[in-house]
Amino acid sequence: MSLADTLANPADEPGGIAYSARGPASIETVASFGFWLFLLSDVVMFSALFAAYAVLQDHVAGGPDGLKLFNRGYVLAETACLLFSSFTCGLCALAIERRATAAFYLWGIVTFALGATFIGLEISEFLRMIRDGAAPERSAFLSAFFTLVGCHGVHVTLGLTWLATMMAQVGTLGFRPQIVRRLLCFTLFWHALDIVWIGVFTIVYLGARW
């Protein structure tokens, strides 16, 4: 079939769509696909960190292990803050869908406060461990612990920066399509961090055999 016949008879093509009518993918499709690829790359990275921790958790080099170091109160408070922030982030997403500015700011601020509290507790825990002589260079176990948990903490910090930036953009630009797209990507990112923390809580802290 010649090119002229093909263009004249689009129904003869697969799906009945003319080549000239297909065009490139929309910005929303490209952005969503790219962000899912980013999340998958994060999953691969954290999987490697979990695997390294699983191998090194018993290599304490005569130093303290997790059972002696981890503070149950800190861990439970951190977990409560982050998991509840996932709920408030979901309410924030619903406000975005409704274009409800006041509700968006309310739940965005609550999410930010809970995330900041989580980071504060984590930094306090790290400083306490270092003061007690359990710095990352003390043993392979501590190196793996600080790398895994610290990497998650860096992601949460970046998420808080992202949320603060988006709240400022909503205040200046409103709920434009590109702003909404970025906000929904943020909510996916934040929920992914909660899932990773469940893995940290289960493997690292519950694995210490309290």
Q: What percent of the chain has pLDDT over 90?
A: 64
CA distances from 18 to 11, 30, 46, 136 (A): 7, 21, 44, 61
pLDDT tens sequence across 59-104: 988 888 888 888 888 899 999 999 999 999 999 999 999 999 999 9
What pLDDT band is residue 158 in, cutting at 50, 70 and 90? Answer: very high
pLDDT at 22: 59
Number of domains in the chain: 1
The answer as to whether 76 is a domain residue is yes
Establish if 51 belongs to a structural domain: yes
Reading phi first (left if > 0) and then psi (alpha if -120 to 50, else beta), residue 99 is in: left
Any domain includes 2: no
Residue 147 maps to a domain = yes
At residue 37, does pLDDT exceed 80?
Answer: yes
Domain presence at residue 172: yes
In a domain, 12, yes or no: no
Measure Cα distances from 112 to 92, 99, 115, 116 in Å.
11, 19, 5, 6
Residue 15's pLDDT is what?
54
CA 40, 109, 76, 149: dihedral to nearest 10 degrees? 40
Closest by alpha carbon to 143, among 60, 44, 48? 60
Residue 139 is part of which domain span? 27-208
CATH number, position 178: 1.20.120.80
The confidence score (pLDDT) of residue 144 equals: 94
